[in-house]
């Protein structure tokens, strides 16, 4: 799963704060998922299906991939490990928490402001109309040389869209959140569109979530995975 270097820097800087949070009443997220990816200039996209297991307190994430072929992706701290048939295939550095930290926002009940308040963003202009509230969030002054504003759109007090800009006000990514359902009082989007704008063209990812379980009490060995020898 790819992301541009500019976006990687933003994600790494933005989500690092979450590794210091205290334990939450909502600490586990499990869901079946599918991901469709399409990149400008390539005729065919990519489809991935499987199940995700995210543990907020352990800071661990497991992707149990079923298609295109069975394997597991384990994310711990700043490393992702690919494992197939109990054999470690590769390991690579990733930003803290990773791009699937959307699950951390859901469990932390901070999805509505995308966690911006936690890292020092402040709301600026607010527009309302047609049942929608659009707000522009401004980065803390010390981060102005690196980050730009973020626009958030809410309907019925739920986040429906987010647009991220760089320090030069250039659009770098958009997110759309649809098909919300409620699990253990937590609103969870069933479909998330992600669009990343790069010099080579757009990179689009569509993720769907099904069979969501919050605070699953079994499968401890999956959430608290152990790496095979060599990991």
Using alpha carbons only, give the angle 45, 97, 56 rounded to the nearest 5 degrees.
Answer: 115
Residue 95 has a pLDDT of: 73
Question: Do 32 and 50 touch, CB atoms closer than 8 A?
Answer: yes
Residue 21 has a pLDDT of: 41
Q: Is-above-0.85 flag for pTM?
A: no
Beta bridge partners of 200: none
Over residues 133-168, the pLDDT tens digits come to 999 999 999 989 999 999 999 999 999 999 999 999
Split at pLDDT 50, 70, 90, the class of 230 is low
Residue 98 has a pLDDT of: 47
| CATH 2.30.30.140 corresponds to the domain 5-216 | no
Split at pLDDT 50, 70, 90, the class of 42 is confident
Percent of the chain having pLDDT more than 70? 87
Question: Do 184 and 107 touch, CB atoms closer than 8 A?
Answer: no
Distance, CA of 230 to chain centre = 28
What does the domain layout of the chain look like in residue ranges? 5-216
Split at pLDDT 50, 70, 90, the class of 50 is very high
What span, in angstroms and rounded, lies between the C-alpha atoms of 134 and 159? 10
What span, in angstroms and rounded, lies between the C-alpha atoms of 172 and 30? 29
Q: Which of 154, 109, 100, 94 lies closest to 127, judged by CA?
A: 154
For 105, residues 6+ apart whose C-beta sits below 8 A from its C-beta are 111, 114, 115
Higher local confidence (pLDDT), 94 or 180: 180
Residue 49 has a pLDDT of: 98
Helix (H, G, I), strand (E, B) or coil at 118: helix
Residue 231 has a pLDDT of: 59
Mean pLDDT of the chain: 87
Cis upstream peptide for 156 (omega within 30°): no
């Amino acid at each position: 799963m790819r992301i541009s270097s500019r976006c990687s820097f933003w994600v790494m800087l933005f989500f690092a704060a979450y590794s210091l949070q205290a334990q939450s009443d909502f600490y586990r997220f499990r869901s079946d998922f599918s991901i469709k990816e399409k990149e400008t200039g390539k005729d065919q996209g990519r489809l991935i299906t499987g199940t995700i297991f995210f543990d907020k307190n352990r800071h661990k994430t497991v992707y149990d991939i079923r298609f295109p072929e069975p394997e597991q992706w384990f994310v711990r701290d700043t490393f992702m490990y690919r494992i197939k048939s109990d054999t470690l295939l590769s390991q690579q550095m990733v930003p803290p928490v990773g791009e699937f930290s959307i699950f951390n926002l859901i469990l932390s009940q901070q999805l509505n402001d995308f966690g911006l308040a936690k890292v020092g963003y402040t709301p600026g202009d607010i527009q309302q109309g047609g049942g929608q509230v659009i707000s522009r969030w401004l980065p803390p002054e010390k981060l102005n040389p690196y980050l730009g504003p973020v626009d958030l759109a809410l309907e019925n007090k739920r986040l429906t869209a987010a647009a991220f800009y760089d320090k030069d006000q250039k659009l770098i990514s958009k997110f759309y959140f649809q098909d919300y359902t409620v699990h253990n009082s937590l609103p969870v989007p069933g479909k998330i569109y992600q669009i990343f704008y790069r010099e080579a063209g757009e990179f689009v990812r569509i993720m769907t979530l099904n069979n969501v379980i919050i605070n699953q009490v079994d499968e401890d060995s999956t959430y608290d995975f152990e790496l095979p020898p060599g990991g």
